[in-house]
Amino acid sequence: MKSSRSLLMSAGLLAAVALGSTFVTLGQTTISRQRVTEAVDLDRLVTLRGNTHPLARPAFDRGPVEDSLPMRRMLMVLQRAPEQESELKQLLEEQQIKSSPNFHKWLTPEEFGKRFGPSDADIQATTDWLVSQGFQVNRVSAGKSVIEFSGTAGQVRQALHTEMHRYMVNGVERVANASDPQIPAAFSPVVRGIVSLNNIPRQALVRPLGTFSRSKETGEM
């Protein structure tokens, strides 16, 4: 199934955080505020909409897979806070303006993660929850945009509240989640979705509509 530099904070910076500042900026270093602040209530869930493959439909359904089926390299996609999105948009614009001090000043993945990713505390809380549900956390991307984890179909069913089913897609048996996954509401400020819960190739959505030929003399189709 397909499916990170130390931050030096002065007393002034700490005071700014205590005052509820969204970001603390020192040169190019930005510290993200913590967004996972609620206790994790396993009975209070949110649905991650749009995380079911369009071909995982009842007409193609061949039933649930066994709980022991390995689910490798699942990807939990993380999201930026609205203020981070605004700051990122501004930075991207300034990187293209020659008069800007940020012109062509590109960020490394690690710098990007520190500035625009979830806080370290949010990452820790999210990975701790995944581990508590029996999953293995393989890695967190340098840009802090994705958590890669692995487990089994049974763990997906129990922790993410969606069953893994077999589907017959274009004559080939595939595996996909039958419904949008759900996670504790405490993580909704930082989790956008969970992808790679299926092995349906992208080209399965492409259907040929015809052919064309090009004339060598005129270049006309």
Q: What is the pLDDT of residues 101-126, one digit of tens each?
A: 999 999 999 999 999 999 999 999 99
pLDDT, tens digit, 9 for 90 and up, residues 143-181 = 999 999 999 999 999 999 999 999 999 999 999 999 999
CA distance 204 to 218: 35
CA separation for the pair 40, 59 (Å, rounded): 37
CB 119 within 8 A of CB 79: no
Low-confidence ranges of the chain (pLDDT < 70): 1-31, 203-221
Which of these, 174, 192, 7, 5, lies nearest to 84 by C-alpha position? 192
* Helical H segments across the chain, by residue range: 11-18, 82-94, 109-116, 120-132, 153-160
Please list the residues that pair with 32 across neighbouring strands.
23
State how far the alpha carbon of 84 is from the alpha carbons of 20, 186, 213, in Å. Answer: 15, 19, 48
Can you give the pLDDT at residue 210? 53
Spatial separation of the C-alpha atoms in residues 120 and 7, rounded to whole Å: 11
Tell me which residue of 193, 171, 165, 199 sits closest to 61, measured CA to CA.
165
Q: How much is the pTM?
A: 0.76
pLDDT at 202: 80
